[in-house]
Structure 1
Protein backbone atom coordinates (compact mmCIF):
# COMPACT_ATOMS: atom_id res chain seq x y z
CA UNK A 1 0.00 0.00 0.00
CA UNK A 2 2.87 2.37 0.81
CA UNK A 3 4.65 1.80 -2.51
CA UNK A 4 1.38 2.04 -4.43
CA UNK A 5 0.64 5.36 -2.77
CA UNK A 6 4.20 6.58 -3.38
CA UNK A 7 3.92 5.88 -7.11
CA UNK A 8 0.38 7.17 -7.72
CA UNK A 9 -0.07 10.02 -5.23
CA UNK A 10 3.56 11.05 -5.80
CA UNK A 11 2.83 11.28 -9.53
CA UNK A 12 -0.29 13.35 -8.91
CA UNK A 13 1.50 15.73 -6.58
CA UNK A 14 4.34 16.08 -9.08
CA UNK A 15 1.86 17.28 -11.70
CA UNK A 16 0.22 19.65 -9.22
CA UNK A 17 3.58 21.10 -8.13
CA UNK A 18 4.65 21.72 -11.74
CA UNK A 19 1.27 22.79 -13.11
CA UNK A 20 2.21 26.46 -13.28
CA UNK A 21 5.28 25.71 -15.38
CA UNK A 22 3.32 23.21 -17.50
CA UNK A 23 0.69 25.80 -18.43
CA UNK A 24 3.36 28.40 -19.25
CA UNK A 25 5.14 25.91 -21.51
CA UNK A 26 1.87 25.42 -23.41
CA UNK A 27 1.53 29.17 -23.96
CA UNK A 28 -1.08 30.02 -21.33
CA UNK A 29 -0.38 33.28 -19.54
CA UNK A 30 -2.54 32.79 -16.43
CA UNK A 31 -1.67 29.53 -14.67
CA UNK A 32 -3.81 30.33 -11.60
CA UNK A 33 -6.97 29.26 -13.47
CA UNK A 34 -5.66 25.74 -13.95
CA UNK A 35 -4.28 25.53 -10.43
CA UNK A 36 -7.77 26.41 -9.18
CA UNK A 37 -9.30 23.83 -11.51
CA UNK A 38 -7.15 20.97 -10.27
CA UNK A 39 -7.78 22.03 -6.66
CA UNK A 40 -11.55 21.84 -7.26
CA UNK A 41 -11.28 18.41 -8.86
CA UNK A 42 -9.01 17.32 -6.04
CA UNK A 43 -11.76 18.22 -3.56
CA UNK A 44 -14.44 16.48 -5.60
CA UNK A 45 -12.24 13.41 -5.82
CA UNK A 46 -12.01 13.24 -2.04
CA UNK A 47 -15.78 13.39 -1.73
CA UNK A 48 -16.56 11.10 -4.67
CA UNK A 49 -13.80 8.62 -3.81
CA UNK A 50 -15.35 8.04 -0.41
CA UNK A 51 -18.80 7.31 -1.84
CA UNK A 52 -17.34 5.12 -4.59
CA UNK A 53 -15.33 2.99 -2.17
CA UNK A 54 -18.35 2.61 0.15
CA UNK A 55 -20.41 1.22 -2.73
CA UNK A 56 -17.66 -1.29 -3.49
CA UNK A 57 -17.35 -2.64 0.04
CA UNK A 58 -20.95 -2.42 1.27
CA UNK A 59 -22.85 -3.43 -1.86
CA UNK A 60 -20.40 -5.97 -3.27
CA UNK A 61 -18.09 -6.83 -0.33
CA UNK A 62 -15.06 -6.26 -2.56
CA UNK A 63 -11.83 -5.08 -0.88
CA UNK A 64 -11.63 -1.29 -0.67
CA UNK A 65 -8.23 -1.18 -2.45
CA UNK A 66 -10.18 -2.02 -5.63
CA UNK A 67 -11.22 1.64 -5.58
CA UNK A 68 -7.57 2.68 -5.31
CA UNK A 69 -6.71 0.59 -8.37
CA UNK A 70 -9.55 2.19 -10.33
CA UNK A 71 -8.56 5.78 -9.52
CA UNK A 72 -4.92 4.99 -10.27
CA UNK A 73 -5.91 3.78 -13.74
CA UNK A 74 -7.91 6.99 -14.18
CA UNK A 75 -4.81 9.01 -13.28
CA UNK A 76 -2.75 6.95 -15.74
CA UNK A 77 -5.23 7.75 -18.51
CA UNK A 78 -5.09 11.48 -17.71
CA UNK A 79 -1.30 11.54 -17.71
CA UNK A 80 -1.11 9.48 -20.90
CA UNK A 81 -3.54 11.88 -22.58
CA UNK A 82 -1.07 14.68 -21.95
CA UNK A 83 1.90 12.57 -23.01
CA UNK A 84 0.51 11.91 -26.49
CA UNK A 85 -0.49 15.57 -26.96
CA UNK A 86 -4.19 15.14 -27.73
CA UNK A 87 -6.47 18.21 -28.04
CA UNK A 88 -7.45 19.90 -24.79
CA UNK A 89 -4.76 17.99 -22.94
CA UNK A 90 -4.42 20.44 -20.03
CA UNK A 91 -8.17 20.26 -19.29
CA UNK A 92 -8.47 16.47 -19.48
CA UNK A 93 -5.30 15.95 -17.45
CA UNK A 94 -6.25 18.35 -14.67
CA UNK A 95 -9.70 16.77 -14.33
CA UNK A 96 -8.60 13.12 -14.27
CA UNK A 97 -5.45 13.59 -12.21
CA UNK A 98 -7.21 15.93 -9.78
CA UNK A 99 -10.04 13.44 -9.24
CA UNK A 100 -7.72 10.46 -8.89
CA UNK A 101 -5.27 12.17 -6.58
CA UNK A 102 -8.01 13.47 -4.29
CA UNK A 103 -9.78 10.09 -4.14
CA UNK A 104 -6.68 8.50 -2.59
CA UNK A 105 -7.17 10.54 0.59
CA UNK A 106 -10.73 9.30 1.04
CA UNK A 107 -9.98 5.64 0.27
CA UNK A 108 -6.65 5.16 2.04
CA UNK A 109 -7.64 6.04 5.66
CA UNK A 110 -10.71 3.80 5.51
CA UNK A 111 -8.74 0.90 4.03
CA UNK A 112 -5.96 1.26 6.61
CA UNK A 113 -8.42 1.26 9.51
CA UNK A 114 -10.22 -1.81 8.16
CA UNK A 115 -7.07 -3.83 7.57
CA UNK A 116 -4.96 -2.82 10.59
CA UNK A 117 -7.48 -1.59 13.14
CA UNK A 118 -7.59 1.64 15.12
CA UNK A 119 -5.09 0.87 17.88
CA UNK A 120 -2.11 2.43 16.08
CA UNK A 121 -4.07 4.18 13.35
CA UNK A 122 -2.48 7.60 13.94
CA UNK A 123 1.06 6.31 13.50
CA UNK A 124 0.11 4.06 10.60
CA UNK A 125 -1.75 6.78 8.72
CA UNK A 126 1.09 9.27 9.10
CA UNK A 127 3.56 6.63 7.92
CA UNK A 128 1.47 6.06 4.79
CA UNK A 129 1.13 9.78 4.09
CA UNK A 130 4.93 10.04 4.02
CA UNK A 131 4.74 8.33 0.63
CA UNK A 132 3.08 11.43 -0.86
CA UNK A 133 5.90 13.99 -0.41
CA UNK A 134 8.54 11.30 -0.88
CA UNK A 135 7.17 10.39 -4.29
CA UNK A 136 6.82 14.02 -5.30
CA UNK A 137 10.38 14.81 -4.23
CA UNK A 138 11.81 11.91 -6.24
CA UNK A 139 9.72 12.41 -9.35
CA UNK A 140 9.92 16.21 -9.42
CA UNK A 141 13.67 16.38 -8.90
CA UNK A 142 14.80 13.32 -10.83
CA UNK A 143 12.25 13.09 -13.64
CA UNK A 144 10.32 16.32 -14.21
CA UNK A 145 13.11 18.83 -13.56
CA UNK A 146 15.76 16.82 -15.40
CA UNK A 147 13.69 16.38 -18.55
CA UNK A 148 12.47 19.99 -18.51
CA UNK A 149 16.02 21.33 -18.16
CA UNK A 150 17.23 19.05 -20.97
CA UNK A 151 14.73 20.40 -23.49
CA UNK A 152 15.13 23.96 -22.22
CA UNK A 153 18.88 23.78 -22.94
CA UNK A 154 18.22 22.27 -26.38
CA UNK A 155 15.81 25.08 -27.26
CA UNK A 156 18.20 27.72 -25.92
CA UNK A 157 20.98 26.26 -28.05
CA UNK A 158 18.74 26.40 -31.13
CA UNK A 159 17.90 30.05 -30.43
CA UNK A 160 21.61 30.86 -30.22
CA UNK A 161 22.31 28.97 -33.43
CA UNK A 162 19.62 30.90 -35.28
CA UNK A 163 21.07 34.23 -34.20
CA UNK A 164 22.91 36.51 -36.57
CA UNK A 165 26.28 34.99 -35.81
CA UNK A 166 25.02 31.44 -36.52
CA UNK A 167 27.15 30.21 -33.64
CA UNK A 168 25.99 28.26 -30.61
CA UNK A 169 26.95 30.39 -27.65
CA UNK A 170 27.65 28.59 -24.39
CA UNK A 171 24.99 29.05 -21.72
CA UNK A 172 26.04 30.86 -18.58
CA UNK A 173 25.07 29.56 -15.16
CA UNK A 174 22.87 32.60 -14.59
CA UNK A 175 20.95 32.22 -17.87
CA UNK A 176 17.23 31.71 -17.39
CA UNK A 177 16.17 28.50 -19.12
CA UNK A 178 12.59 28.05 -20.27
CA UNK A 179 11.05 25.28 -22.33
CA UNK A 180 8.13 25.80 -24.71
CA UNK A 181 5.76 23.18 -26.07
CA UNK A 182 4.21 19.86 -25.12
CA UNK A 183 7.59 18.17 -25.27
CA UNK A 184 8.63 19.84 -22.01
CA UNK A 185 6.46 17.49 -19.94
CA UNK A 186 5.21 14.83 -22.36
CA UNK A 187 7.91 12.31 -21.47
CA UNK A 188 7.48 13.06 -17.79
CA UNK A 189 3.73 12.44 -18.00
CA UNK A 190 4.33 9.25 -19.97
CA UNK A 191 6.65 7.96 -17.24
CA UNK A 192 4.22 8.98 -14.48
CA UNK A 193 1.39 7.25 -16.36
CA UNK A 194 3.39 4.04 -16.36
CA UNK A 195 4.09 4.42 -12.63
CA UNK A 196 0.36 4.77 -11.97
CA UNK A 197 -0.26 1.50 -13.83
CA UNK A 198 2.35 -0.19 -11.62
CA UNK A 199 0.61 1.34 -8.59
CA UNK A 200 -2.72 -0.10 -9.76
CA UNK A 201 -1.13 -3.53 -10.11
CA UNK A 202 0.19 -3.29 -6.55
CA UNK A 203 -3.26 -2.28 -5.32
CA UNK A 204 -4.72 -5.35 -7.00
CA UNK A 205 -2.17 -7.49 -5.16
CA UNK A 206 -3.47 -5.97 -1.92
CA UNK A 207 -7.01 -6.76 -3.12
CA UNK A 208 -6.07 -10.41 -3.66
CA UNK A 209 -4.46 -10.71 -0.25
CA UNK A 210 -7.28 -9.03 1.68
CA UNK A 211 -10.38 -10.42 -0.02
CA UNK A 212 -11.11 -12.77 2.89
CA UNK A 213 -10.89 -9.93 5.39
CA UNK A 214 -13.50 -7.91 3.53
CA UNK A 215 -15.73 -10.94 3.12
CA UNK A 216 -15.69 -11.35 6.90
CA UNK A 217 -16.26 -7.63 7.50
CA UNK A 218 -19.10 -7.03 5.06
CA UNK A 219 -20.34 -10.47 4.09
CA UNK A 220 -20.75 -11.87 0.61
CA UNK A 221 -23.34 -9.95 -1.38
CA UNK A 222 -24.30 -10.34 -4.97
Structure 2
Protein backbone atom coordinates (compact mmCIF):
# COMPACT_ATOMS: atom_id res chain seq x y z
CA UNK A 1 0.00 0.00 0.00
CA UNK A 2 2.72 2.51 0.97
CA UNK A 3 4.78 1.57 -2.06
CA UNK A 4 1.86 2.02 -4.46
CA UNK A 5 0.47 5.17 -2.83
CA UNK A 6 3.71 7.09 -2.27
CA UNK A 7 5.87 5.33 -4.90
CA UNK A 8 8.58 4.55 -2.35
CA UNK A 9 11.02 1.89 -3.48
CA UNK A 10 11.01 -1.44 -1.67
CA UNK A 11 14.65 -0.95 -0.65
CA UNK A 12 13.34 1.70 1.79
CA UNK A 13 11.68 -1.14 3.69
CA UNK A 14 14.88 -3.18 3.47
CA UNK A 15 16.81 -0.22 4.89
CA UNK A 16 14.33 0.12 7.75
CA UNK A 17 14.66 -3.58 8.54
CA UNK A 18 18.46 -3.25 8.52
CA UNK A 19 18.30 -0.38 11.03
CA UNK A 20 16.08 -2.40 13.37
CA UNK A 21 18.39 -5.39 13.04
CA UNK A 22 21.47 -3.23 13.73
CA UNK A 23 19.78 -1.86 16.85
CA UNK A 24 18.85 -5.36 18.04
CA UNK A 25 22.36 -6.72 17.49
CA UNK A 26 23.89 -3.72 19.26
CA UNK A 27 21.43 -4.23 22.12
CA UNK A 28 22.60 -7.84 22.42
CA UNK A 29 26.26 -6.80 22.23
CA UNK A 30 25.77 -4.64 25.33
CA UNK A 31 25.01 -7.78 27.33
CA UNK A 32 22.20 -6.36 29.43
CA UNK A 33 20.13 -8.83 31.45
CA UNK A 34 17.15 -10.17 29.55
CA UNK A 35 18.33 -8.76 26.24
CA UNK A 36 18.24 -12.17 24.59
CA UNK A 37 14.43 -12.19 24.69
CA UNK A 38 14.05 -8.81 23.01
CA UNK A 39 16.77 -9.60 20.50
CA UNK A 40 15.23 -12.96 19.57
CA UNK A 41 11.91 -11.32 18.73
CA UNK A 42 13.45 -8.41 16.81
CA UNK A 43 15.88 -10.56 14.81
CA UNK A 44 13.12 -13.04 13.96
CA UNK A 45 10.85 -10.25 12.74
CA UNK A 46 13.66 -8.69 10.73
CA UNK A 47 14.61 -11.95 9.01
CA UNK A 48 10.97 -12.63 8.21
CA UNK A 49 10.52 -9.14 6.79
CA UNK A 50 13.72 -9.47 4.80
CA UNK A 51 12.58 -12.73 3.21
CA UNK A 52 9.27 -11.10 2.30
CA UNK A 53 10.70 -7.87 0.87
CA UNK A 54 13.79 -8.99 -1.06
CA UNK A 55 12.16 -11.36 -3.60
CA UNK A 56 9.54 -8.75 -4.44
CA UNK A 57 12.20 -6.05 -4.82
CA UNK A 58 14.33 -8.30 -7.04
CA UNK A 59 11.38 -9.09 -9.28
CA UNK A 60 10.53 -5.40 -9.63
CA UNK A 61 14.09 -4.27 -10.27
CA UNK A 62 15.31 -7.06 -12.55
CA UNK A 63 12.08 -8.44 -13.99
CA UNK A 64 10.72 -11.95 -14.06
CA UNK A 65 12.77 -13.20 -16.99
CA UNK A 66 15.70 -14.34 -14.83
CA UNK A 67 13.90 -14.38 -11.48
CA UNK A 68 14.55 -18.09 -10.90
CA UNK A 69 18.31 -17.70 -11.13
CA UNK A 70 18.28 -14.56 -9.00
CA UNK A 71 16.10 -16.22 -6.36
CA UNK A 72 18.55 -19.10 -6.19
CA UNK A 73 21.35 -16.63 -5.47
CA UNK A 74 19.18 -15.02 -2.79
CA UNK A 75 18.61 -18.36 -1.10
CA UNK A 76 22.32 -19.14 -1.35
CA UNK A 77 23.16 -15.92 0.53
CA UNK A 78 21.73 -17.23 3.81
CA UNK A 79 23.87 -20.37 4.13
CA UNK A 80 26.94 -18.56 2.78
CA UNK A 81 26.54 -15.81 5.38
CA UNK A 82 25.93 -18.42 8.05
CA UNK A 83 29.12 -20.22 7.09
CA UNK A 84 31.15 -17.01 7.19
CA UNK A 85 29.69 -15.58 10.38
CA UNK A 86 29.16 -18.77 12.39
CA UNK A 87 31.97 -20.90 11.06
CA UNK A 88 34.71 -18.29 10.83
CA UNK A 89 34.02 -15.04 12.67
CA UNK A 90 31.88 -16.09 15.65
CA UNK A 91 33.73 -19.33 16.33
CA UNK A 92 37.13 -17.65 16.11
CA UNK A 93 36.16 -14.89 18.51
CA UNK A 94 34.45 -17.35 20.87
CA UNK A 95 37.51 -19.63 20.93
CA UNK A 96 39.79 -16.66 21.60
CA UNK A 97 37.64 -15.46 24.51
CA UNK A 98 37.34 -18.99 25.92
CA UNK A 99 41.11 -19.41 25.76
CA UNK A 100 41.62 -16.08 27.54
CA UNK A 101 39.18 -17.08 30.29
CA UNK A 102 40.76 -20.52 30.61
CA UNK A 103 44.25 -19.05 31.01
CA UNK A 104 42.94 -16.57 33.57
CA UNK A 105 41.32 -19.39 35.59
CA UNK A 106 44.54 -21.42 35.55
CA UNK A 107 46.59 -18.45 36.75
CA UNK A 108 44.16 -17.38 39.47
CA UNK A 109 43.09 -20.81 40.77
CA UNK A 110 46.41 -21.91 42.29
CA UNK A 111 45.67 -20.20 45.63
CA UNK A 112 49.34 -20.35 46.51
CA UNK A 113 49.32 -24.15 46.71
CA UNK A 114 51.46 -24.60 43.63
CA UNK A 115 48.81 -26.86 42.08
CA UNK A 116 46.19 -25.29 39.85
CA UNK A 117 42.59 -26.26 40.55
CA UNK A 118 41.76 -26.16 36.83
CA UNK A 119 43.08 -29.01 34.72
CA UNK A 120 44.71 -27.91 31.45
CA UNK A 121 42.77 -30.51 29.46
CA UNK A 122 39.40 -28.90 30.26
CA UNK A 123 37.23 -28.05 27.31
CA UNK A 124 37.38 -24.40 26.39
CA UNK A 125 34.12 -22.81 27.44
CA UNK A 126 33.41 -19.11 27.45
CA UNK A 127 31.20 -17.57 30.14
CA UNK A 128 29.42 -14.24 30.05
CA UNK A 129 28.39 -11.71 27.48
CA UNK A 130 31.97 -11.15 26.32
CA UNK A 131 31.78 -14.37 24.31
CA UNK A 132 29.57 -12.96 21.57
CA UNK A 133 29.53 -9.21 22.16
CA UNK A 134 32.28 -8.49 19.63
CA UNK A 135 30.61 -10.73 17.05
CA UNK A 136 27.28 -8.97 17.52
CA UNK A 137 29.03 -5.60 17.30
CA UNK A 138 30.58 -6.62 13.98
CA UNK A 139 27.22 -7.81 12.68
CA UNK A 140 25.57 -4.58 13.84
CA UNK A 141 28.17 -2.59 11.94
CA UNK A 142 27.57 -4.68 8.83
CA UNK A 143 23.83 -4.01 9.14
CA UNK A 144 24.61 -0.27 9.15
CA UNK A 145 26.67 -0.77 5.97
CA UNK A 146 23.72 -2.69 4.47
CA UNK A 147 21.46 0.22 5.42
CA UNK A 148 23.73 2.65 3.60
CA UNK A 149 23.84 0.40 0.53
CA UNK A 150 20.05 0.05 0.59
CA UNK A 151 19.69 3.82 0.68
CA UNK A 152 21.98 4.08 -2.35
CA UNK A 153 19.71 1.62 -4.16
CA UNK A 154 16.69 3.71 -3.06
CA UNK A 155 18.24 6.83 -4.53
CA UNK A 156 19.08 5.10 -7.79
CA UNK A 157 15.69 3.39 -8.23
CA UNK A 158 13.31 6.15 -7.15
CA UNK A 159 12.56 7.02 -10.78
CA UNK A 160 11.90 3.38 -11.65
CA UNK A 161 9.32 3.12 -8.86
CA UNK A 162 7.77 6.43 -9.84
CA UNK A 163 7.32 5.09 -13.39
CA UNK A 164 6.00 1.74 -12.12
CA UNK A 165 3.33 3.27 -9.95
CA UNK A 166 2.69 6.48 -11.88
CA UNK A 167 3.50 8.90 -9.08
CA UNK A 168 5.53 12.06 -9.61
CA UNK A 169 8.95 12.36 -8.00
CA UNK A 170 8.96 14.36 -4.77
TM norm structure 1: 0.69
- The answer to whether the 8 A contact 1:56-1:64 is kept is no
CA contact (8 A) 1:157 1:169 kept: no
For 1:189, the equivalent position in structure 2 comes to 136
Unaligned runs of 5+ in 2: none
Largest Rg, 1 or 2: 2
Deviation of 1:96 (Å)? 1.2
Q: For 1:86 and 1:107, how far apart are their aligned partners in 2?
A: 31
Q: Which has the higher contact order (CA 8 A, sep 6+)?
A: 2
Report deviation, 1:86.
2.6
Give the corresponding residue for 2:160.
Answer: 213
Q: Does 1:176 align with 2:123?
A: yes
CA RMSD of aligned residues (A): 2.0
CA change 1:76–1:121 in 2 (3 A) is same
| Residue 148 in structure 1 maps to residue 94 in structure 2 | yes
| Separation (CA, whole Å) in 1 of partners of 2:106 and 2:131 | 19
- State the shift of 1:188 in Å: 0.8
Question: Counterparts of 1:91 and 1:194 in 2: how far apart (Å)?
Answer: 21
Structure 1 runs of 4+ aligned residues shifted over 6 Å read none
- When structure 1 is superposed on structure 2, of 132-141 and 106-115 the one drifting more is 132-141
The reply to whether residue 90 of structure 1 matches residue 39 of structure 2 is no
Offset, 1:97? 1.1
Count of residues in Structure 1 that have an aligned counterpart in Structure 2: 166
Output one character per residue of 1:18-67: Cα deviation in whole Å (capped at 9) or x when no partner: xxxxxxxxxxxxxxxxxxxxxxxxxxxxxxxxxxxxx3312211000110
The CA deviation string for residues 115-154 of structure 1, in whole angstroms up to 9 with x for no partner, is: 1111111111111222211111111122210111111112
1:211 alignment partner, SS class: helix
1:55-134 pair list within 5 angstroms: 55-134=1-80
Match of 1:204 among 128, 134, 151: 151
Contact 1:76 1:192 (8 Å CA) reproduced: yes
Distance 1:72 1:165 in 2: 53
**Deviation digits for residues 177-199 of structure 1, max 9, x if unmatched?**
11110111111111110000001
Q: Distance in 2 between matches of 1:170 and 1:86?
A: 31
- After superposition, the C-alpha distances for 1:74-97 in whole angstroms (9 at most, x for unaligned) are 000000001112332101111111
